[in-house]
Amino acid sequence: MLSFTLIYKTLFIAICTALFCLICYGKLFVFHKKEATFVSDYTSSIALFFTLYVIVAFIGLFVVPTILKKIIFLCLALSPFAIGHFAKYETEKYFTLVQLFVLVFSVVCVMRF
């Protein structure tokens, strides 16, 4: 029988990977298109995956054993809100890279616990 931790790790890594791919593909191809409906739908799918990311990261607070790892997961769960608060239109590319780095860091953190 699969343990809850293994299922959690797999789900979290899958969500992070999908979100990473959605952001990269969107920045490279989708957001340059002029079709407003398609871009809006694509942006909604990214928002859905960010919501899943936050929910699963908050669940990680109950899965990890130590206080330090709980603090790290709390920071990871709140990172989309913090990055979105500081991001401006002029610095959007920079904060996109920061969010991609946070996604990679969160996958590394999940794989290590």
The DSSP string of the chain is ---HHHHHHHHHHHHHHHHHHHHHHHHHTGGG---HHHHHHHHHHHHHHHHHHHHHHHHHHHH--SHHHHHHHHHHHHHHHHHHHH--STTHHHHHHHHHHHHHHHHHHHHH-
Q: Provide the pLDDT for residue 24.
A: 92
Closest CA to 12 of 105, 99, 107: 107
Q: Give the separation between CA 71 and CA 7, rounded to whole angstroms.
A: 21
What is the rounded distance in angstroms from the CA atom of residue 62 to the CA atom of residue 81?
Answer: 21
Q: Which residues of the chain have pLDDT under 70?
A: 1-2
Residue with tokens 């293994």: 6
Task: Enter the tokens of residue 74.
Answer: 């709390």
What is the predicted pLDDT for the residue at 32? Answer: 81
The predicted pLDDT at position 11 comes to 92
The whole-number pLDDT of residue 1 equals 54
